[in-house]
């Protein structure tokens, strides 16, 4: 979720500073008064350099060589539905035009790292905070912080799917209105093992859908082929009980049978979390 302006000058400083200050202050507000619109900035498409477009194309073409076989149909269909191409860094407004009638999700450029509550407030309103910078060529394969390739290529295609779209919004509502550290930690694990590193079984084969896998060749190959990965059937309680580590290949991954399974499990969990928080399901 963090963008760093050292990579690019596509972020306008004064606007970004104001938006970042609003995001940083959001956790101090009551959850229902957090306004995600204050965190968003303009995507200045004219500021992308030829090198930015070249890196986008290189990443896109390299990933598609294997994703056609490795990725979930839902990702591949979503990629087509939102109109991404290798030609150039995507214009987020164009992506949003495509998404509007599909699920109502919209992506919005943000200046950098959003505190968790600010991030959840966006998800709860079907708004996806998006990094707009492009990674430097020397960090093609591993980038410690998201860039537009991770966020838009990796995450946004799934937002075109109505079932995943519902899951992600419900997740956002539960996380936004939950104040219990026990559940907050469990929800962070759920995000990690689904949105970031999720696998799904389709026609008997395990496929990728998590953005951390979609946007990384080496993580993908490891996730699908390594004998050292424990690929477990998705079970909500087990997922939420599994700690994760961020600085090496994932030794444990969870495999969905369908996105309906994820949506339904999330609906039940959200009901429980929100009832315990005294909010009720919105």
What phi and psi values does residue 120 have, to the nearest 5 degrees?
-65, -35
Residue 138 bears catalytic tag = no
Among 8, 72, 107, 150, the active-site one is 150
Instruction: Between 195 and 274, name the residue whose CB sits nearer to Fe ion.
Output: 195
| 222 given a catalytic annotation | no
CB 57 within 8 A of CB 86: yes
- Write down the least CB distance from residue 220 to Fe ion, Å: 14
* 67 within 8 A of 208, measured Cβ to Cβ: yes
Q: Which of residues 211, 216, 220, 250 is near Fe ion by CB under 5 A?
A: 211
Select from 271, 8, 276, 235 the least CA-distant residue to 137. Answer: 8
- Tell me phi and psi for residue 18, to 5 degrees: -65, -45
Q: Is 183 a catalytic residue?
A: no
Shortest gap between Cβ of 46 and Fe ion (angstroms)?
A: 26
For Fe ion, which stretch binds (CB under 5 A), given 18-26, 75-83, 104-112, 207-215?
A: 207-215
Q: Toward Fe ion, which CB reaches closer, 254 or 279? A: 254
196 is catalytic: yes
Cβ 122 vs Cβ 36: under 8 Å: yes
Set 215, 216, 219, 220: catalytic member: 215
Helix (H) / strand (E) containing 208: strand 205-208
Chain CA centroid to CA 160, Å: 13
Looking at residues 31 to 70 of the shown chain, list those that interact with Fe ion (rule: CB under 5 A): none
Taking the least distance from each CB to Fe ion, the nearer of 124 and 279 is 124
Q: How far apart are CB 254 and Fe ion at their closest, in Å?
A: 16
Shortest gap between Cβ of 28 and Fe ion (angstroms)?
A: 25
Q: Kindly give the pairing relationship between strand 252-256 and strand 199-202.
A: parallel
Shortest distance (Å) from residue 196 CB to Fe ion = 5
- Residue nearer to Fe ion on the CB measure, 207 or 279: 207
Residues 118-177 that bind Fe ion (CB under 5 A): none
SS3 71: strand
What angle do the packed helices 162-177 and 116-124 form, to 10 degrees? 140
Identity of the residue, 211 or 279, whose beta carbon is nearer to Fe ion in the bound complex: 211
Quick one: DSSP state of residue 115? Answer: P
Which residue among 108, 155, 159, 183 is the active-site one? 155
State the Cα–Cα distance between residues 87 and 56, nearest whole angstrom. Answer: 8
Using CA atoms of 252, 257, 263, 265 in order, give the dihedral in degrees to the nearest 10.
Answer: -70
Q: How far is the CB of 280 from Fe ion (least distance, A)?
A: 29
Cα(245)–Cα(268) distance, integer angstroms: 26
Q: For Fe ion, which stretch binds (CB under 5 A), given 28-36, 51-59, 206-214, 227-235? A: 206-214
Q: Which residue is nearest to Fe ion (CB)?
A: 211
Q: Which residues bind Fe ion (CB under 5 A)?
A: 211
> Could you give the residue numbers annotated as active site?
150, 155, 196, 215
């Amino acid at each position: 979720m963090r963008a760093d302006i050292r990579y690019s000058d596509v972020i306008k400083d004064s606007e970004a500073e104001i938006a970042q200050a609003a995001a940083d202050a959001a956790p101090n507000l009551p959850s229902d008064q957090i306004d995600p619109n204050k965190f968003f900035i303009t995507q200045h498409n004219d500021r992308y350099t030829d090198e930015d477009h070249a890196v986008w194309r290189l990443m896109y073409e390299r990933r598609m060589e294997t994703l056609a076989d490795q990725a979930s149909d839902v990702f591949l269909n979503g990629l087509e539905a939102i109109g991404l191409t290798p030609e150039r860094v995507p214009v987020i407004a164009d992506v949003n035009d495509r998404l509007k009638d599909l699920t109502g999700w919209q992506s919005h450029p943000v200046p950098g790292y959003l505190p968790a509550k600010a991030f959840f407030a966006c998800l709860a309103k079907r708004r996806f905070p998006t990094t707009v910078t492009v990674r430097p060529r020397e960090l093609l394969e591993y980038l410690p912080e998201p860039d537009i390739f991770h966020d838009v290529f990796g995450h946004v295609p799934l937002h075109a799917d109505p079932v995943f779209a519902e899951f992600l919004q419900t997740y956002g509502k539960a996380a936004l209105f939950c104040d219990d550290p026990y559940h907050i930690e469990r929800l962070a694990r759920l995000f990690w093992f689904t949105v970031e590193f999720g696998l799904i079984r389709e026609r008997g084969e395990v496929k990728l859908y998590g953005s951390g896998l979609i946007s990384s060749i080496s993580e993908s190959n490891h996730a699908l082929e390594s004998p050292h990965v424990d690929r477990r059937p998705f079970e909500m309680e087990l997922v939420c009980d599994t700690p994760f580590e961020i600085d090496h290949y994932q030794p444990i991954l969870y495999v969905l049978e369908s996105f309906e399974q994820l949506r339904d499990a999330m609906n039940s969990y959200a009901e429980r979390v929100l009832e315990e928080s005294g909010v009720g399901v919105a």
